């Protein structure tokens, strides 16, 4: 049974509880003594934790951990540079008799993978341009197995099981709404652009079956999902015999969706659907980060500074909101 969750950690308290060990490393402190640096997590978030002055037995134990084990830690809650940090006094691996339920540790998208997949496929079926539909459907079908659980990031927005599909689905729904307001937009391009824009995250970041990502793949590290995505469309267009104009426009949508060269886009969007794609992407990421951050903020208080929101601190009002979306 798990009692303490990352989002409920209170400064100064001491506890004994289970966490998922996301990353672990043995490091040397400024006093030349070895310590163990852990990133612990559960479904509510991540927290950094240190075991100072690690004993040889503890270091030995770390070297024997397999991927993403569940550990029990005795620790006290403190703060470092404005962020919560745990000071561990003892830790051990979970045992069978602890009867721990893995679902308490896994961050998952609020919707089930298969139903998000079906929703996106239904929207793709409405695409009238046969070439565009073929590209979208081929990618969804070929990557289905991984899409059902893949996260959209290793950290930050949608770093959760099913996060990539959830990101695509919300952008798709928002994109279709935008098409009813901005009637110059061609819906086919919006739908397929959303479906393909981050598709290569499957080859950019790594993930286990719980949607927990240990980081980037070799190709992801050197190329990134934008360059990987352009290569992917290039190959697929040749295979499916997609006319050059359409293939290059799809590549451009992937290429320009981060907008700024310093965020990985060598070109800015050059047609309206590509412009919209960028805004759908950024909107979904920001809404996710804001919602996620505010979960652990008390009413009437400000959050800690959020790196992915340019260091902003968010405010959570005291009143119960009216007019919240159903």
- Binding interface with Fe ion (CB under 5 A): 198, 281
Structure tokens at 109: 């998208």
CA–CA dist 155, 213 (Å, integer) = 8
Structure tokens at 136: 């979208």
Closest Cα partner for 113 from 156, 151, 63, 139?
Answer: 151
If the CB atoms of residues 42 and 200 are measured against Fe ion, the closer one turns out to be 200
If the CB atoms of residues 70 and 280 are measured against Fe ion, the closer one turns out to be 280
Residue 131: Cβ within 10 Å count: 19
Least gap, CB of 133 to Fe ion (angstroms)? 21
Least gap, CB of 260 to Fe ion (angstroms)? 12
If the CB atoms of residues 273 and 281 are measured against Fe ion, the closer one turns out to be 281
Least gap, CB of 229 to Fe ion (angstroms)? 8
Least gap, CB of 255 to Fe ion (angstroms)? 11
CA–CA dist 197, 256 (Å, integer) = 9
If the CB atoms of residues 9 and 190 are measured against Fe ion, the closer one turns out to be 190
Q: Which alpha helices (DSSP H) does the chain contain, by range?
A: 56-64, 113-125, 130-142, 144-147, 163-181, 187-197, 201-204, 218-222, 224-240, 244-256, 272-294
If the CB atoms of residues 105 and 259 are measured against Fe ion, the closer one turns out to be 259
Instruction: Read off φ and ψ for residue 60, nearest 5 degrees.
Output: -60, -45
CA–CA dist 44, 70 (Å, integer) = 15
CA–CA dist 298, 275 (Å, integer) = 37
Least gap, CB of 300 to Fe ion (angstroms)? 33
If the CB atoms of residues 7 and 173 are measured against Fe ion, the closer one turns out to be 173
DSSP state of 100: -
Least gap, CB of 187 to Fe ion (angstroms)? 19
């Amino acid at each position: 049974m798990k009692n303490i969750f990352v989002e409920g950690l209170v400064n100064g308290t001491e506890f004994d509880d289970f966490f998922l060990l996301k990353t672990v490393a043995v490091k040397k402190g400024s006093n030349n003594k070895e310590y163990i640096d852990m990133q612990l997590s559960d479904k509510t978030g991540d927290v950094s934790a240190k075991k100072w002055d690690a004993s040889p037995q503890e270091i030995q134990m770390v070297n024997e951990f397999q991927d993403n084990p569940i550990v029990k830690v005795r620790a006290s809650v403190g703060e470092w540079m404005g962020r919560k940090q745990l000071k561990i006094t003892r830790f051990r691996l979970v045992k069978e008799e602890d009867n721990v339920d893995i679902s308490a540790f896994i961050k998952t998208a609020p919707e089930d993978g298969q139903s998000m997949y079906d929703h996106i496929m239904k929207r793709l079926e409405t695409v009238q341009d046969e070439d565009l539909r073929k590209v979208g459907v081929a990618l969804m079908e070929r990557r289905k197995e991984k899409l059902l659980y893949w996260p959209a990031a290793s950290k930050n927005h949608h770093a959760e099981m099913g996060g990539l599909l959830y990101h695509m689905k919300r952008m798709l729904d928002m994109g279709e709404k935008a098409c009813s307001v901005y009637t110059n937009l061609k819906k086919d391009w919006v739908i397929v652009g959303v479906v393909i824009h981050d598709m290569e995250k499957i080859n950019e970041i790594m993930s286990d079956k719980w949607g927990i990502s240990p980081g980037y793949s070799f190709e992801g590290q050197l190329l990134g999902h934008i360059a990987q995505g352009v290569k992917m469309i290039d190959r697929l267009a040749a295979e499916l015999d997609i006319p050059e104009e359409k293939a290059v426009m799809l590549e451009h949508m992937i290429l320009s969706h981060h907008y700024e060269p310093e965020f990985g886009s060598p070109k800015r969007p050059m047609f309206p659907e590509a412009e919209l794609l960028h805004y759908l992407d950024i909107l979904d990421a920001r809404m996710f980060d804001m919602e996620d951050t505010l979960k652990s903020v008390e009413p009437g208080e400000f959050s800690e500074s959020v790196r992915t929101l340019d260091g902003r601190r968010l405010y959570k009002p005291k009143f119960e909101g009216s007019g919240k979306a159903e």
